[in-house]
Amino acid sequence: MRKEVPLIITFLAGFFFIADYFIPHTGFSNIAADVNGWAIIVLAFSYILGVGNVLRINAQRIAKKEKDWVLKVILVLCLFFMLGIGIFGGIAEGSIFDWFFVNTYTPMQATMFALLAFFIASAAFRAFRVRTTQAALLAITAVLVMIGRVPIGETIWKSFPDFTEWIMGVPQLAGKRAILIGAALGAISTGLKVITGLERTYMGQD
């Protein structure tokens, strides 16, 4: 039963959502919306497991005084602090929770995002170390598109931006479509294997 019941549930859930696309019956659609709601609630409960995982692992490191254990204390304290002010004080705009979100979380998030500019420069340097024809093609296309999207492109050649648009709209699109169609077949195949129980790694075994 430990193996059979989950497989049956996987099968039923999978075919239910496939059927939902083809069955326009209002009652069925309402049921599908409710079933979708169950999935959202299940995912929400899993956050408790996730935070439990964080606390368990960090508590062990703190107890054993492993390297950088003080930082783990800071991590756990911040976690409890946000939980406390969020659950007891609410998350509405203007609350302490919201203040911490705006003044600590958001700037750090934005800064991490901004780091990408530096990393993309390093990635570009790596990309332009051309060793093969394929790498050369990638590098040349990247340079052409970059130049076409800045004012200097138009200065060099009046039709440079149009040429960039053509690259994006024709050869780039051709490769993209091939990847998308391939990925669609791969996803359908994986989905079918999961629903029919051919793939059950995610379930583990006794």
Does 152 bind other proteins (CB under 8 A)? Our answer is no
**What is 8-40 written as a DSSP string?**
HHHHHHHHHHHHHHH---HHHHHHHHHHHHHHH
Distance in Å, CB of 65 to other proteins, minimum:
16
Given candidates 62, 63, 64, 74, which one binds other proteins under the rule CB under 8 A? Answer: 74
Binding mask 83-122 for other proteins (x = CB under 8 A): x--xx--xx-----x--xx--xx-xxxxxxxxxxxxxx-x
Q: Binders of other proteins among 123-142, rule CB under 8 A?
A: 123-124, 126-127, 133-135, 137-142
Does 69 bind other proteins (CB under 8 A)? Our answer is no
**What is 159-190 written as a DSSP string?**
THHHHHHHHHHTHHHHHHHHHHHHHHHHHHHH
Q: Binders of other proteins among 182-201, rule CB under 8 A?
A: 182-195, 198-199, 201
The CA distance from 163 to 169, in Å, is 10
Q: Binders of other proteins among 23-62, rule CB under 8 A?
A: 23-31, 34-54, 56-57, 60
For residue 4, what is the DSSP state?
A: H
Main-chain dihedrals φ then ψ at residue 94, nearest 5 degrees: 95, -10
The CA distance from 199 to 14, in Å, is 13
For residue 94, what is the DSSP state?
A: T
Distance in Å, CB of 98 to other proteins, minimum:
10
Distance in Å, CB of 94 to other proteins, minimum:
15
Given candidates 63, 102, 130, 143, which one binds other proteins under the rule CB under 8 A? Answer: 143
Distance in Å, CB of 3 to other proteins, minimum:
9
**What is 109-137 written as a DSSP string?**
HHHHHHHHHHHHHHHHHHHTS--SHHHHH
For residue 105, what is the DSSP state?
A: I
Distance in Å, CB of 61 to other proteins, minimum:
9
Distance in Å, CB of 105 to other proteins, minimum:
5
